[in-house]
Structure 1
Amino acid sequence: MVVLAGLAAPADAAAGEPVVSGATVNSGRDVIVGLTHDVGFPVTIGGSDDSGLSFVEVDLKGPHGGFYTTDAFCESATACTTVFTVNAHPAPGSDDPVDLANSNAGTWSVDALADANDGESVFAPRVGSFSLKRAAQLTVNASPEPVTKGARFTVTGKLVRANWDTYRYAGYAGRTVHLQFRPKGSNTYTTVGAVKTSGTGTLRTTAKAVKDGYWRWSFAGTNTTGPVKATGDYVDVRP
Structure 2
Amino acid sequence: MRVRTAAVLLALAACSSASVVPAAARTASGGTVFSHVVVDGGKDVVFGPATRRTVTIAWTAQDPDGVAASWAYLWHGPDTDDADGILPLYPPAGTCAAVSADRTTVTCTVAFVVDAARDLRHDALAGTWKVLASAQDDGDDWTETDVVATARLQRAAGVTVNASPEPVRKGRTLAVTGRLTRADWERGGRGGYAGQPVRLQFRAKGGSAYTTLKTVRSLSGGALKTTVAARTDGWFRFLFPGTATTGPATAAGDFVDVR
- 1:57-96 matches, within 5 Å, as 57-63=71-77, 65-69=84-88, 70-71=91-92, 72-77=94-99, 78-89=106-117
Change (3 A) 1:204 1:183: same
Cα distance between partner residues in 2 of 1:66 and 1:226: 20
Change (3 A) 1:118 1:234: farther
The amino acid of 1:145's aligned partner reads: E
- 1:136-175 matches, within 5 Å, as 136-175=157-196
Task: Give the secondary structure class of the aligned counterpart of 1:103.
Answer: helix
The aligned counterpart of 1:46 is: 60
Cα distance between partner residues in 2 of 1:51 and 1:185: 64
Indicate which of 126, 132, 139 corresponds to 1:105.
Answer: 126
Structure 2: runs of 5+ lacking an equivalent? 2-27, 78-82, 100-105
Cα distance between partner residues in 2 of 1:139 and 1:159: 7
Identity rate of aligned residues, in percent?
38
CA contact (8 A) 2:120 2:185 kept: no
Residue 76 of structure 1 deviates from its aligned partner by 4.0
CA contact (8 A) 2:176 2:226 kept: yes
Cα distance between partner residues in 2 of 1:106 and 1:220: 15
Please give the per-residue CA displacement for 1:73-104, whole angstroms capped at 9, x wherever unaligned.
21344211111322222xxxxxxx44431011
The aligned counterpart of 1:92 is: none
Cα distance between partner residues in 2 of 1:31 and 1:117: 34
The amino acid of 1:45's aligned partner reads: W
CA contact (8 A) 1:58 1:112 kept: yes
Cα distance between partner residues in 1 of 2:208 and 2:233: 13
Larger radius of gyration: 2
Of the structure 1 ranges 23-32 and 99-108, higher mean CA displacement relative to structure 2 is found in 99-108
Cα distance between partner residues in 1 of 2:230 and 2:68: 63
User: TM-score w.r.t. structure 1 length?
Assistant: 0.84
Residue 116 of structure 1 deviates from its aligned partner by 4.0
Task: Give the secondary structure class of the aligned counterpart of 2:41.
Answer: helix
RMSD: 2.1
Indicate which of 224, 229, 242 corresponds to 1:208.
Answer: 229
User: TM-score w.r.t. structure 2 length?
Assistant: 0.78
Task: Give the secondary structure class of the aligned counterpart of 2:161.
Answer: strand
